[in-house]
Structure 1
Amino acid sequence: MPLDLALLKKLSEVAGIPGWEDRVREVIQQALKGLVDEVRTDALGNLIAHKSGNGPKVMVAAHMDEIGFYVKHVDPKGFLRVQNVGGFDTRNLFARAVTVHTQLGDLPGLLNPAGKPVHISTPEERNKIPTVAQFFVDLGLSAKEVARRVQVGDPVTLRQEASMLGDLFTGKAMDDRASVFVLLETLKRLKGKKIKHDLYAVFTTQEEVGLRGALTSAFHIEPEIGIALDVTLAVDTPDSEAHEAVTQMGQGVGIKVMDSASISDRGLVQQFVQLARKKKIPYQMEVLPLGGTDAGAIQRSRTGVPSITLSIPTRYIHTITEAVHKDDLEATVQLLTAYLQG
């Protein structure tokens, strides 16, 4: 079954920052039709899809949210100041197209740091890296019109068209819409088939600000096994040292050993490695020095849950040109499908 990259494009381009994942959830709900036995949304906005099986209760989590902003101030000239939700490297934020999502409709805008144009700035000013607090949004509207249409608390998202680039698929929010896509593609391949596990496919909220949705949904589901799906660093571009390469593009699904939020269950790591070898699915071992996934929340739920993360190697994480390799997407779908089928 070929990957439905049109669905990945839709998932990438739809807007959904932490606490405002509604539009993403709607796309997923449409894609879930006919694939599971039950779908519900909990109090924190997590979308929980249940596919019945006779085996252990397994929670597979992929987060819906993307990093973005909320409007925190509208100044007298009509410029907007923003508060980030999620971690940004501000070097990647210069001259970006954004959308401000207001109650009166979406407004296109431009994101730039405050300060002088390069032509009249000093060398010291040009070399200074601005903080998020220095960035503002220009809507191209009069101050009166901005005040009428925008209010503090309106979400702001980066805008970027997703597309194929050789063997790569690139766009915004591959973190973690690529994993949402993998989970949906896995459910497609399991359609009409009996599975080894009692599966809860959970599309979680607010991962980028503290793994919040995974924590509450795991508490409710009480899984016996937790699997997080997320992206990880592909450190394989120029001027990167070989020992820094957490994963490499096109070399298969990442089986995570550890990150700064979780250490994967040793038994699950061995089980996934053996399964990948048996099925001849390309894989690579992953040790991530900094960063975490929903596994960090799932494993600490109630009295503890053996958990692991399957990772998709990704270049340019937390930018609008995040890129994943189609072969790595396929390998992740194959490994997860094989595990759930038993």
Structure 2
Amino acid sequence: MKLNIDLLKKICEVPGAPGFETPIRNQIIKEIKSHVDSYDIDNMGNLIAIKKGNKNPDGKKVMVAAHMDEIGFIVTHIDSNGFVRFHTLGGFDPKTLTAQRVIIHGKEDVIGVMGSKPIHVMTPDEKNKVAKTSDYFIDLGMAKDEVEKLISIGDSITRERGLIEMGNCVNCKSIDNRVSVFILIETIKKLQNIPFDLYAVFSTQEEVGLRGASVAAHRIDPDFGIALDTTIAYDLPGAQPHEEITKLGDGTAIKIMDAMTICDTRMVNYLKERANEEKIKWQTEILTVGGTDTAGIQRRGEKGAISGAISIPTRHLHQVIEMAHKEDISSSIDLLKSALENLDSYDWNW
């Protein structure tokens, strides 16, 4: 399958920090509105698109969630010299902030750079200390009065880095989780006949606690659930085989568990069966730290949902150089499409 790289680039580069997802949500609506039966936006900002099943006498519902927020920051202070202080929205390794450009979304978008104390004037102790986010500030190249004409406390901040192709991979900020947004959009466009009603949820605020998906699952009360998210590909120099979790190019990953969810064995086996039937390359994922929208989908509905996840192996997560393999992305689209179109063919009894 040839990927629509132009669409993936657009989806990855549109801003949307947790709680500030309007720009990316509007972009998604443009892509899906002619391919679904209806859509709406709930009070959490989740975009919920519905595609009706063609043989669904029992009113079965399947929820597929891809969170559309990206890790970012929020403005907390503008000092007397115009430098901006910030708080993180999502998990950051502080050392990855060094020498990066960001965009502050104020009255207009303003480019800034992450600054910190120059190494030339650090004491020996400071040079050896682990960096903290509080060591950084944002330099806009403007005086305080100029900054305050454009920027206010509470404005969101996202990272500035465009998508490029590198060999058989794509590289960008916000592959987590815009690659899954892309996968869900492309799957919606390709679906032919689905047996059960599909609730495609582009969820909010996942990076700060799975907030949007939990609310959406409570409302939808799905019978089945599939989360789409990135996972760690630790196939890097120095990694031991038991540490790799997943590897780029080894196929889409079928989640068995993460730190917040033990996936329903029925869904795990079903996804494996579909992948084998369709000759889709796949690998397993056991992630002993972190969590995804799978947890919210599985547990927030009234009766719980038969839930699992399709994960996209990604190197350098939560950096501006996140990398995913094109074939793994294609395999993820193929597996999700097959899973949705054949849900009624599997024996879901215990």
Q: Name 1:34's counterpart in structure 2.
A: 34
Unpaired segments ≥5 residues, structure 2: 343-350
In 1: Cα distance, 2:138 partner to 2:113 partner: 5
Instruction: Give the drift of 1:278.
Output: 1.2
In 2: Cα distance, 1:159 partner to 1:182 partner: 22
Identity of matched residues, %: 45
RMSD: 1.0
In 1: Cα distance, 2:130 partner to 2:240 partner: 25
Instruction: Give the drift of 1:150.
Output: 1.5
In 2: Cα distance, 1:147 partner to 1:30 partner: 33
Is contact 2:316–2:322 with CA below 8 Å preserved after alignment? yes
Alignment of 1:215-234 (within 5 A): 215-234=214-233
In 1: Cα distance, 2:252 partner to 2:147 partner: 46
Alignment of 1:78-117 (within 5 A): 78-102=82-106, 104-113=107-116, 115=117, 117=118
Q: Residues 48-94 of structure 1: CA distance to partner in whole angstroms, max 9, x if unpaired?
A: 11000034310000000000100011111111100001000011110
Q: Name 1:72's counterpart in structure 2.
A: 76
In 1: Cα distance, 2:176 partner to 2:121 partner: 37
SS at match of 1:187: helix
Instruction: Give the drift of 1:143.
Output: 1.4
Q: Name 2:348's counterpart in structure 1.
A: none
Q: How many residues align?
A: 337
In 2: Cα distance, 1:129 partner to 1:145 partner: 33
Instruction: Give the drift of 1:25.
Output: 0.4
In 2: Cα distance, 1:310 partner to 1:254 partner: 6
Q: Residues 34-60 of structure 1: CA distance to partner in whole angstroms, max 9, x if unpaired?
A: 211111111110001100003431000
- Look up the equivalent residue of 2:186 and give its one-letter code: E
Instruction: Give the drift of 1:3.
Output: 1.8
In 1: Cα distance, 2:274 partner to 2:145 partner: 62
Q: Given the two structures, how large is their TM-score scaled by the length of structure 2?
A: 0.94
* Structure 2 residue 51 is matched with structure 1 residue 46: no
- Look up the equivalent residue of 1:38 and give its one-letter code: S
Q: Given the two structures, how large is their TM-score scaled by the length of structure 1?
A: 0.96
In 1: Cα distance, 2:148 partner to 2:43 partner: 32
* Structure 2 residue 120 is matched with structure 1 residue 119: yes
Q: Residues 291-342 of structure 1: CA distance to partner in whole angstroms, max 9, x if unpaired?
A: 1110111111123212111100000000011011000001100011011111
In 2: Cα distance, 1:130 partner to 1:234 partner: 24
Q: Name 2:183's counterpart in structure 1.
A: 182
Alignment of 1:1-342 (within 5 A): 2-53=2-53, 54-55=55-56, 56-102=60-106, 104-113=107-116, 115=117, 117-190=118-191, 193-301=192-300, 302-342=302-342
Unpaired segments ≥5 residues, structure 1: none
Moved over 6 A (4+): none
Is contact 2:252–2:313 with CA below 8 Å preserved after alignment? yes
SS at match of 1:70: strand
